[in-house]
Amino acid sequence: MKAITGRWTEKELDDLILESARIVDIGERIAFLSSLLLGTGYKESTLEGSTERPEELVINLAAVDCFTFIDYVEAMRLSRSFTGFIEKLKKVRYRNARVSFEDRNHFFTDWRDSNGDFVEDMTGKAGGGHAVRVEKMLNEKEDGGNWVPGIAVVRREIDYIPSLLSEDVLARLMTGDYAGVYSEAAGLDVSHVGIVVRDNDLTFRHASSKHRKVMDEDLREYFSSRPGAVVLRPK
């Protein structure tokens, strides 16, 4: 295992995770934990492993991409200590907690299929009559190649809510929901992910590649120019 704890010591993280565990409301717990990472730098490819190189469990709280950001938050919200966080991260990031490249959840909807004990797909319910269902060959590009070489192509049904989100749809979103930006590209479910936070307004908290950090943006504005949203809700 490789652990980079960023601005905290392991003892400080232990205390923060225990503090968060006392927050009864799951959404508020996620909001608290994700707020700790605001301002953290954006960095791609911090995980280590491939079909040719053994996977290593990596914790890097000093630099995250959009998916490792929600990985860490979800694993923390299920934990009561730093040691527990390590074990939960294995279950959140990998199928059956097997630390291997092949078992890593490479796609957002892998969470839905692999981590049904932790999250449920709320896209259809949140979208009401607005949700659209499509079938995709996940991981297969239009030219027949793969987005993630060495990972099997999977036929998968994906629900998404079109980008012009109505007020009744927005009213159904809850703090702590994990929201993915639906991708129209062949073989992809989403192109980006983040967390819904209801504060004074609806906020999209995410690791932004454009701004190179974890930040909050207005959710309505952010999704108005995107193809749609996929919503997973923590249990």
Q: Are residues 139 and 211 in the same domain?
A: yes
Q: Are residues 71 and 41 in the same domain?
A: yes
Q: Are residues 65 and 125 in the same domain?
A: no
Q: Are residues 132 and 99 in the same domain?
A: no
Q: Which structural domain range is residue 123 located in?
A: 119-234
pTM equals 0.95
Q: Are residues 54 and 16 in the same domain?
A: yes
Burial class of 99 by CB neighbour count within 10 A (0 to 12, 13 to 18, 19+): middle
Q: Of the candidates 56, 81, 114, which is a domain's last residue?
A: 114
Q: Of the candidates 114, 135, 151, which is a domain's last residue?
A: 114
Burial class of 149 by CB neighbour count within 10 A (0 to 12, 13 to 18, 19+): exposed
Q: Is 204 helix (H, G, I), strand (E, B) or coil?
A: strand
Q: Are residues 148 and 221 in the same domain?
A: yes
Q: Are residues 34 and 127 in the same domain?
A: no
CB 151 within 8 A of CB 129: no
d(C-alpha 131, C-alpha 163), whole Å: 10
CB 123 within 8 A of CB 161: yes
Q: Are residues 60 and 148 in the same domain?
A: no
Provide the CATH number for the domain around residue 193.
2.30.260.10
Domain count, the chain: 2
Joined tokens for residue 183 = 């991708």
Which has the closest alpha carbon to 206: 27, 34, 87? 34
Q: Are residues 171 and 82 in the same domain?
A: no
Q: Are residues 229 and 167 in the same domain?
A: yes
Q: Are residues 75 and 129 in the same domain?
A: no
Provide the CATH number for the domain around residue 15.
1.10.3670.10
Give the model's pLDDT for residue 47.
94
Q: Of the candidates 114, 143, 169, which is a domain's last residue?
A: 114
Q: Are residues 106 and 135 in the same domain?
A: no
| pLDDT tens for the 235 residues of the chain, in order | 999 999 999 999 999 999 999 999 999 999 999 999 999 999 999 999 998 899 999 999 999 999 999 999 999 999 999 999 999 999 999 999 999 999 999 999 999 998 778 999 999 999 988 899 999 999 999 999 999 999 999 999 999 999 877 888 999 999 999 999 999 999 999 999 999 999 888 999 999 999 999 999 999 999 999 999 999 999 9
